[in-house]
Amino acid sequence: MKLFSIRGGIHPDYRKERTSEKAIVSFPLPATLFIPLQQHIGAPAEVVVKEGDQVKKGQMLAKGQGAVSAPQHAPTSGRIAAIAEITAPHPSGLPQLTVVLESDGKDEWVDDLPQPIADPLKASPDEIRARVAWAGIVGMGGAAFPTPVKLNLGAQLKIHTLLLNGAECEPYLTCDDRLMREHAAEIIDGARIMAHTLGAGRVVIAIEDNKPEAKKIMTEAASGHAGVEVIGVPVQYPMGSERHLTQAITGLETPARKLTADLGVVVQNVATARAVHHAVRHGRPLIGRVVTVSGGALPDPKNIDVLIGTKLSDLVAFCGGLTKPAKRFVNGGPMMGQPLPGLDVPVVKGMSGILALTAEEVNEHPASPCIRCGTCVTICPCGLVPVEMAAVIRKDHLDQAAHLGVMDCVSCGSCSYICPSHIPLVHYFNFAKGMLNAQDREKRRLDRVKNLAEARNARLEKAAAAKKAAAAAAAAAKAKAAAEAASQPPADNRPGA
């Protein structure tokens, strides 16, 4: 099949060979699990258990609230030891409400799991979506956007292609690679279910050419299914970016501020597809995931099948512990992953990688002056001019940065990675985006307040006008009555009456 080229991009040092040939291993049942109530984009889940409750594996601990949310389920059986504020795997290092589950070691499933959906490819989209929503499935590639919301796009837009993202363009990460090699049939089944739910006739599974084994196995697994293709895409970071992958496969360029769905393409991660398979075919909620634990500070990196809520420190110990000093801990891949405040935080649904990187791997240097080499302009996959945006952001001219397109930046990190002066360009852009979003929220709040105030003034004016009109009417009536009274000789005023 003809592929389309994407603009710019880089070829970072991938370092995938550290874990790519290591089969997925299961992590032993931890004694305590920590399940944060917000592991996804949207509203946090609302807790439905209380301290001291006995719960079984798969039992709902917290239900989704609002249109964009996801429930959380017990990853194993045991007792709710606490519902407390605990440090979240977030760069801020701030705590958030977390269910602490003490395992009873029995790992017993709850009795009332939903029945498998008999023939999901004939089931109604609503039934599948309800099941996926119940299972608490979110995008497992890292964004953690609630999957049922995305599966609903087929109801509003005409979707022709489900694009399954097996590009895994981030360095180090191999969990999707291993999943595709070890669970190809489940992934393809999940993808077909999602395509059916979206009303998409075509499933394209895109795999970067540096994963030939995964591509081969997936191609074999897909061969029996009509409308399912496996396509190798060039190794070019950020090929796994939703918009860029869509462009590479379909040639369609997603307009700014639109979704790929507006072009009829929905992109889902391979691990998400497998979770959908489990929810639909087996009635299992999302309570675990495969995560790549890697980085030069670890002697024995692995791909680990782990329960949500397992402490990262346990996983690091499982990989031999930190035998070299780690300069950075990262949640996700090194390019777009989030820095972690430490290892005393739990695994969450969107966590595809846990990296303990040495100073040598991180290769940080103090920024030196920009020499205007223009490499950032050449490699920017979004067609932006990073050097110029950073210059205006440094001067706090955020409006100019917005004009130059900073909100179009996907924070892929290519410019920072390549900059010979080691200027932390993406750091500037993230700062500007945060500030602009805050300004936007504030502006909308002020607009709302203004609208309310105006409405109130209008209402008061109307009321005043009505009152005035009523008063005028009353006065008029009174005047009229008086006039009438004056025109009639007041009988009883006659003298002598």
Query: How far apart are alpha carbons 390 and 419 in whole angstroms?
Result: 12
Contacts for 255 with CB less than 8 Å, ≥ 6 apart: 262
Mapped onto helix, strand or coil, the DSSP state of residue 285 is coil
Determine contact, residues 286/11, Cβ cutoff 8 Å.
no
Of 144 and 286, nearer to other proteins (C-beta) is 144
Shortest distance (Å) from residue 463 CB to other proteins? 44
Residue holding tokens 């489990």?
278
Residue 128 or 384 with smaller CB distance to other proteins: 384
CB-wise, 372 or 444, nearer to other proteins? 372
Q: Kindly give, in sequence order, each residue whose CB lies less than 8 Å from that of residue 10, ignoring residues fewer than 6 positions away.
A: 236, 237, 379, 414, 417, 418
Q: Is the Cβ of residue 41 or residue 157 nearer to other proteins in the bound state?
A: 157
In angstroms, the CA 464 to CA 462 distance is 5
Strand partners, 87: 95
Vertex 45, ends 44 and 49: CA angle to 5°? 140
Nearer to other proteins, 2 or 50 (CB): 2
Q: Which is nearer to other proteins, 42 or 264 (CB)?
A: 264
Report the residue number, 8 or 30, with the smaller CB distance to other proteins.
Answer: 8
Enter the DSSP assignment of 5.
-
96 or 219: CB nearest other proteins: 96
Q: Residue 44: is the preceding peptide bond cis (ω within 30°)? A: no
Q: Shortest approach of other proteins to residue 344 CB, angstroms?
A: 7
In the bound complex, what is the minimum distance in angstroms from residue 323's beta carbon to other proteins? 14
Place of tokens 């496996």: 230
DSSP per residue, 63-90? E--SSS---EE-SSSEEEEEEEEEE-SS
Tokens of 228: 């399912």
* Smallest separation (angstroms) from other proteins to the CB of 452: 31
Of 183, 257, 185, the C-alpha closest to 408 is 257
Over the Cα atoms of the chain, what is R_g? 30
Q: Are 344 and 65 in contact (CB under 8 A)?
A: no
Single out the residue of 254, 228, 244, 361 nearest to residue 301, CA to CA: 361
Q: Specify whether the backbone of 171 is left (phi greater than 0), alpha (psi in -120 to 50) or beta.
A: beta
Q: Which residues contact 411 (CB under 8 A, 6 or more apart)?
A: 336, 426, 429, 430, 433
Q: Taking the complex as a whole, how short is the minimal distance between the CB of residue 164 and other proteins, in angstroms?
A: 17
> What does the DSSP 8-state code read for residue 44?
P
Q: CB 174 → other proteins: shortest distance, Å?
A: 16
Nearer Cβ to other proteins, position 273 or 355? 355
Closer CB to other proteins, residue 108 or residue 229?
229
* Residue 219 C-beta: closest distance to other proteins, Å: 23
CB 372, min distance to other proteins, A? 5
